[in-house]
Chain A
């Protein structure tokens, strides 16, 4: 849904793991799932530290 976030003008957008579970995945083991969630949250924190001038999507490495 990141194109919608860009369209409405959200400034710092981190692409997450999907609509039904943005910060997780039922296909992973509990540990792997939590590690994925941690990476996304850390990327969101990184985005908060990044100066942006317009809606910017931070994609997952």
Chain B
């Protein structure tokens, strides 16, 4: 090995930095020379390849509660040690610690252009928050196999710091970052699909090449009021917009939604509306917008007292080839506005 010995900084929480347990979780960012606490495992894994020049430590509560201040302070401590590589954690299943590791690695990469690696259990919230930006090695829930797992972190970290090629998530043991890389496969797609099908039929293990997005379960809220006292809003992903599409909602792959007043309207006049949605034949909805957004019957139900109130704003977007990330963001934004307006429930009509 002719490679030069690398300077490495290890980031730990108060527990793995041997400052103390929960009673020390409030301690702020600090730095110690050399390898302290669990950083000794990092040094052991590095061998001659590098030296832990400093151990940076921050209490879990401090990092979680004052992240806006703590992360920049930690970045400054890392910068002062002039490392080639930051190894954060591993955090195992410790949530505050995992989030701090991810946040620090992301900030160090972005601001200092220094390679980083962290490690944690797949259910650590730090995984979902940072795996797309930070190489995060999968570990167990507890520190029982600390040395073996630190070895994997360090092996990946050395590749990153040296600018060497990094293998697939499965080969290197890190969480997929959502990056697509072109590779030359040994067989055509048809051959691979048939062989996968044969494996499936024979009950043999197989791995899909197209992972499906995971949809975390959303708890179903209860309607706390009676319908007679509730404000109901109408929302649609079927693309209804006022004529002229004032918000320029895209015909597919939408990133925008519109909020349109129905104040004073007992029904929707087809001449005043349009529909840019390119995922279904909108002829019938353009003829009569109520086929998508039932303002007419909702007004009748409001007048008869079956519902307390119809919310005076309808929200609309185009749901076709819309990315999960934009859908989730738009849903969150619309839900926040509805909640601020005192809406109790939503009927979302979808095509």
Q: List 9 A-B contacts (CB under 8 A).
A: A5-B350, A20-B285, A22-B238, A37-B291, A38-B300, A41-B294, A42-B306, A44-B347, A45-B301
User: Is B246 in the interface zone, CB < 8 Å from A?
Assistant: no
Q: Which residues of B contact A33 (CB under 8 A)?
A: 291
Contact check, A7 vs B288: say whether CB atoms are below 8 A apart: no
Within 1-30 of A, Cβ neighbours of B (below 8 Å) are at 1, 5, 7-9, 11-12, 16, 19-26
Which of A40, A48, A53 is B345 in contact with, Cβ under 8 Å? A48
Residues of chain A lying within 8 A (CB to CB) of residue B238: 22
User: Which of A's residues lie within 8 Å of B, judged by CB?
Assistant: 1, 5, 7-9, 11-12, 16, 19-26, 33-34, 37-38, 40-42, 44-45, 48-49, 51-54
Q: Which residues of chain A come closer than 8 Å to B216, judged between CB atoms?
A: 9
Given known pairs A34-B297, A37-B296, A37-B297, the reply for A20 and B215 (CB within 8 Å) is: no
Contact assessment for A23 and B349 in the assembled complex, using a CB-CB cutoff below 8 Å: yes
Say whether A23 contacts B215, CB under 8 Å. Answer: no
| C-alpha spacing A20/B350, complex, angstroms | 10
Complex CA distance for A25 and B291, rounded to whole angstroms: 7
Contact flags B286-329 to A (C-beta < 8 A → 1, else 0): 01101111101110110000110000000000000000000000
Q: A37-B294, A37-B296, A48-B345 are in contact. Are A24 and B284 (CB under 8 A)?
A: yes
Identify the interface centre among A37, A40, A51: most chain B CB within 10 Å of its CB: A37
A20 in complex: contacting residue of B280, B298, B345, CB < 8 Å: B280
Determine if B340 is an interface residue (Cβ-Cβ < 8 Å).
no
- Are A21 and B350 in contact (CB-based, < 8 A)? no
Contact of A26 among B218, B232, B280, B284 (CB under 8 A): B284
Q: Which 10 A-B pairs have the closest CB atoms?
A: A24-B291, A11-B220, A21-B291, A21-B284, A38-B297, A9-B215, A44-B347, A52-B220, A48-B345, A23-B294
Query: Closest residue of chain B to A13, judged by CB?
Result: B350
Q: A22-B238, A24-B290 are in contact. List 14 more A-B contacts (CB 8 A).
A: A1-B351, A12-B220, A20-B281, A21-B285, A22-B291, A23-B349, A24-B288, A25-B291, A33-B291, A37-B294, A44-B347, A51-B222, A53-B220, A54-B220
Whether, in the assembled complex, B64 has its beta carbon less than 8 Å from a beta carbon of chain A, the answer is no
- Among B216, B227, B282, max chain A CB count under 10 A is at B227
Q: Which of A7, A23, A42 counts the most B-chain CB atoms under 10 A from its CB? A: A23
- Give Cα distance in the complex from A50 to B70, angstroms: 46
